[in-house]
């Protein structure tokens, strides 16, 4: 094991491909092509895994001759598979990668980050054995020129805002604006009961976020992204009513 890491099976563990074959009803149904050149006939969905190779410290940093662009080979793989069939693109990386010009061709996008030695963790959510529950811990930029981009910036118009993350754990509540209003009232009651920084308080804001994400549906504007991200920052301080109010603003702008 070297300090900067290396590709290949240098430690004991499970690759994402191995995890998918374990999770599939039939391991033979999962075929693999390193450069996406294999025939796609007979398959329903293509899973394209792209991103960064291992690195530590500054080797992967922007400004050291490295950027946030996918490699040409990764871009070609996305173009090839997504043009031929339904596709899910998994980004394995230590930071966001630029995807703006290809998002419209994808049926699903999964930020897999750096899963370590256990690709089962990625495969299990992909196959529905575990629910998707993650939210972005950083803002995902649209372009290199936006970096650095953070919640609170005057011009906050990212690819995906801080806190964004679709979930398969629960369904969004119905009721639209009326439900958001009711959640705002519940947030006020919870704050008076000193529940601002508790799981019960967070659950109220989570319900509002689910409803808002459903309406946004991946169609982001600055008027949507800015209050959506600000809501999560307010939630961290225990300001439940402020968080729900920001989400209502995002809902109206969507």
Q: What is the pLDDT of residues 138-178, one digit of tens each?
A: 999 999 899 899 999 999 999 999 999 999 999 999 999 99
10-residue mean pLDDT series, the chain (254 residues): 81 92 91 92 92 81 77 94 95 90 93 89 94 95 92 95 94 95 97 96 97 95 97 96 98 97
CA distances 137 to 49, 85, 91, 173, Å, are 21, 31, 15, 24
pTM over 0.85: yes
Domain boundaries, the chain: 16-130, 176-253
Query: Quick one: CA dihedral 9, 13, 18, 20, positive or negative?
Result: negative
**What would the CATH number be for the domain defined by 16-130?**
3.40.50.1700
What are the DSSP E strand ranges found in 104-201?
108-111
């Amino acid at each position: 094991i070297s300090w900067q890491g290396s590709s290949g099976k240098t430690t004991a563990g499970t690759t994402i491909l191995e995890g998918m074959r374990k999770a599939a009803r039939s391991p033979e149904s999962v075929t693999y092509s390193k450069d996406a050149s294999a025939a796609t006939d007979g398959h329903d969905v293509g899973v394209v895994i792209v991103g960064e190779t291992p690195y530590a410290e500054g080797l992967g940093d922007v400004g050291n001759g490295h950027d946030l662009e996918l490699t040409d080979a990764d871009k070609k793989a996305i173009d090839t598979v997504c043009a031929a069939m339904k596709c899910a693109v998994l980004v394995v990386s230590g930071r966001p990668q630029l995807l703006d010009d290809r998002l419209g061709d994808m049926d699903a996008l999964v930020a897999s980050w750096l899963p370590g030695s256990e690709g089962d963790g990625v495969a299990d959510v992909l196959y529905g054995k575990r629910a998707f529950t993650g939210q972005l811990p950083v803002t995902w930029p649209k372009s290199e020129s936006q970096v650095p981009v953070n919640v609170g910036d005057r011009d906050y118009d990212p690819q995906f805002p801080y806190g964004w993350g679709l979930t398969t754990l629960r369904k969004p509540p119905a009721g639209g604006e009326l439900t958001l209003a009711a959640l705002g009232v519940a947030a006020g009651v919870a704050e008076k009961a000193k529940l601002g920084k508790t799981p019960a308080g967070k659950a109220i804001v989570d319900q509002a976020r689910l409803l808002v994400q459903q309406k946004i549906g991946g169609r982001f504007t600055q008027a949507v992204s800015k209050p959506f991200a600000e809501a999560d920052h307010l939630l961290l301080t225990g300001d439940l009513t402020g968080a729900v109010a920001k989400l209502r603003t995002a809902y109206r702008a969507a």
